[in-house]
Structure 1
C-alpha cells in the first residue's frame, strides 16, 4: 500500500515522501531511457531493438517533463541532478549533431547529394520536360513573330544580340574575348540571372510547384529565342558550343532547383497516407539537400562562365569541356552510389 501524506508529518518527511512517490511512478521510463542512451554512447546502437529506437523520442520528452515537474516542486537535489544529466545526454542523441562538418561534407559529396537527387527522379523528369517545352515554345514564338524576341530576351543580353544583327556581329559576341580578365559583363549578368532563377524556382515550390514550373518555362523560352536568333544566321552550332562550357552545369543546376521546388509542392498537394505537414517536412529534407548541391554547381558554373569559356576560343574545345561536365554530372547523380548519410548521422 502506498504511503499517504499525513497532516502530522514534518515538512522534511513530506518532501521525502513526495520525492519517493515521484520517482517510483516514473523511474521505469528513466531507467529505460538511461539504458538506451548508454548503449548508443558506447557505439552499440545497431544492436538496439526497433521498439527502443522508436521509443527514444517519446522517452526523452517524458523525462524532460519529469525534470520540469521536479524543478517546480523542488524535489531532492539528487533526483534533479540525475534528471538534468539524463535529459542532456538524451537530447544529444535525439537532436544533437552526430558528425563534424568534415564528416558531414564527406557524406554529402560521397553519396548523400546524389541519393537526394535520385529520390526526386519523378520531379526531375517533369522539370526536364517543362524546360524542353519552354525552349521549343520560345523558338517557335520568335520564328512566327520576331517581335516576341524583345519580350522574351532581357535587355541585359546586350544590344548586339538582337534581330537584324549581321552574322559577323553575332559571331564577334562568341569569339575573340581571350584577352578579357575574369568575368565579362555579359557573363556576370548571365550568372546572376540564372542563380536568381534557380533560387526562386526552389523557394516558390510551396505553392504546389506551379510557380517553379512557370519560372522554368520563362527561363528556357529565353534560351529558345536566343537559339533561333543565332540559327537564323547559321551560327547555331557555335552558340551551342559557347553555351555548353557553363550551360551543362548551370542548366543542370536550374533543373535540379526546379525539381526540388516541384518536389515540395507535390509533397503538399499529394501527401498520400501522411499528414500534410509530415509529407511537406519529408519533401523539404530531400529538396534542401539537393539545393545545397545546386549552390555548389552554380559556383562551378560561374567559374566556367567567367574564365574557361573566354580562354577556349574554339567551338570544338568548348564542346569538349561542356560534354565532359555533362558526363560528370550524369555519372555522379545516376551511376555513382558511394556512401549515404543516414538520419542518425552515420554513413551507409
Structure 2
C-alpha cells in the first residue's frame, strides 16, 4: 500500500511540479522587490498558479500523500496568500520603492516613446524659430500673451535682458514663473490624458510646446541675447522640458497600446500602458515642482549666465543618470 502511495505521490509531483516551481520563483521575486517587478504575463499567471497550488494542497491532504510535500505546499500557499492579500507595506516603504525602482523602471520602459517625443520637440522648436525669424508677426499667433509677458518682437534688447536678470521686476518675474509652471503642468497632464485618442492630440501638444519654445528663442536671438536666454532657461528648463517630454512619451505609449494592442485585448493593453504611464506622470509632476524651485532660486540668487548653464547641465546629467544608469536586473518587464 505504501508503495502505491509513493508512486501516486511521484506522479502527482511530476504533473504539477513545474507550476509550483514557477509560483515559488514569482513569489520569491515579489518578496525581494514588489509585485511591480513581475512581467505582465507573470502578473496575469500569478492568481491562476495560486489557485492551482491550493487545489494541489487540497488533493495532497485528501489522499494522505507525502507529508513533506503537504508541508511544502502549505508554506508556498501561505507565502502567496500573504503577498496577494496580506497587509500592504508601510507608506514609507512604498515611497522609497517608488523612487528607487518604480519611477526609473517606468521611464526606462518608455524609452522609445521618449526619444520620439524629444525629436518631435526639437523639430517643432526649430520650426518655430525659423518661422519667427522669417516673419516676427508669427510670434503673436504662436505664444499666448500671458506666457510672453512682454518678451515679444517689439521689446528692446535691454528690456529682454531685464526680464532675465530681474532688475527691479521680481514681482513680474514671479508672476511669469507661476504662469509658466501652470502652463507646462497643463501640457504635461493633457499630453498623457489625450493619449487615449491614439496619441494624435499628444503629438500636437508636444509640437505646440516646441514651437512656442522656438518662437521665444527667436525673439531673444534676434536682439542678441539668445545665449543669455538659453542660460536662464537651462537652470530650470532642462528639468521642465524633460518632464514634458516624458509626459508626451507616456501619452504615446497609451496611444500605441490602443492602436496596436498586439495579442492582448485593446482594453487590457490600455490598462497596462495606463498603469506604467501613470507612474511616469506622478514623477513628471515631481519634476515640474523641482523645476519651479530651480526657477525661483535661479531668479533670486544666481545671476551669472555661466552658473545658470552649469546648474542646468548638472540637473540634466543627474536626471539621465537617475533614470538610465544600469541597475541590478529586476526581472523582465
1:55 equivalent in alignment to 2:45: no
Work out the CA distance in 2 between the residues paired with 1:140 and 1:258. Answer: 23
Q: Secondary structure at the match of 1:239?
A: helix
The 5 Å alignment of 1:120-139 reads: 120-139=110-129
The normalised TM-score by structure 2 is: 0.74
Question: 1:270 is matched with which residue: 255, 260, 284?
Answer: 260
Alpha-carbon distance, 1:281 to partner: 1.4
1:202 equivalent in alignment to 2:192: yes
- The structure richer in helix per residue is 2
Q: Is the 8 A contact 2:247 2:281 kept in 1?
A: yes
Alpha-carbon distance, 1:54 to partner: 4.9
The 5 Å alignment of 1:26-65 reads: 45-46=27-28, 53-56=46-49
1:223 equivalent in alignment to 2:213: yes
1:261 equivalent in alignment to 2:251: yes
1:163 equivalent in alignment to 2:153: yes
Alpha-carbon distance, 1:307 to partner: 2.4
1:301 equivalent in alignment to 2:291: yes
Structure 2: tracts of 5 or more residues without a match: 1-15, 31-41, 56-78
Work out the CA distance in 1 between the residues paired with 2:117 and 2:180. Answer: 21
Alpha-carbon distance, 1:145 to partner: 1.8
Identify if the C-alpha distance between structure 1 residues 112 and 163 changes in structure 2 by more than 3 Å, giving closer, same or farther: same
The normalised TM-score by structure 1 is: 0.71
Identify if the C-alpha distance between structure 1 residues 150 and 300 changes in structure 2 by more than 3 Å, giving closer, same or farther: same
Identify if the C-alpha distance between structure 1 residues 159 and 328 changes in structure 2 by more than 3 Å, giving closer, same or farther: closer
Identify if the C-alpha distance between structure 1 residues 209 and 57 changes in structure 2 by more than 3 Å, giving closer, same or farther: farther
Q: Secondary structure at the match of 2:178?
A: helix
Structure with larger Rg: 1
Matching residue of 1:85: none
Q: Is the 8 A contact 1:202 1:212 kept in 2?
A: yes
Q: Is the 8 A contact 1:135 1:220 kept in 2?
A: yes
Structure 1: tracts of 5 or more residues without a match: 1-31, 63-88, 344-348
Question: 1:287 is matched with which residue: 245, 259, 277?
Answer: 277
Q: What's the CA shift string for 1:127-149, capped at 9, x where partnerless?
A: 11110111011111112221110
The 5 Å alignment of 1:20-169 reads: 45-46=27-28, 53-56=46-49, 93-94=83-84, 98-169=88-159
The 5 Å alignment of 1:228-243 reads: 228-243=218-233
Work out the CA distance in 1 between the residues paired with 2:206 and 2:26. Answer: 48
Matching residue of 1:318: 308
Identify if the C-alpha distance between structure 1 residues 96 and 263 changes in structure 2 by more than 3 Å, giving closer, same or farther: farther
Work out the CA distance in 1 between the residues paired with 2:180 and 2:174. Answer: 10
- Count of paired positions: 280
Alpha-carbon distance, 1:304 to partner: 0.9
Identify if the C-alpha distance between structure 1 residues 218 and 324 changes in structure 2 by more than 3 Å, giving closer, same or farther: same
Work out the CA distance in 2 between the residues paired with 1:152 and 1:256. Answer: 23
Matching residue of 1:14: none
Deviates more, 1:275-284 or 1:193-202: 275-284
Work out the CA distance in 1 between the residues paired with 2:97 and 2:330. Answer: 6
Q: Is the 8 A contact 1:111 1:338 kept in 2?
A: no
Work out the CA distance in 2 between the residues paired with 1:47 and 1:238. Answer: 50
Q: What's the CA shift string for 1:136-186, capped at 9, x where partnerless?
A: 111111122211100111101345311132111111111144894897111
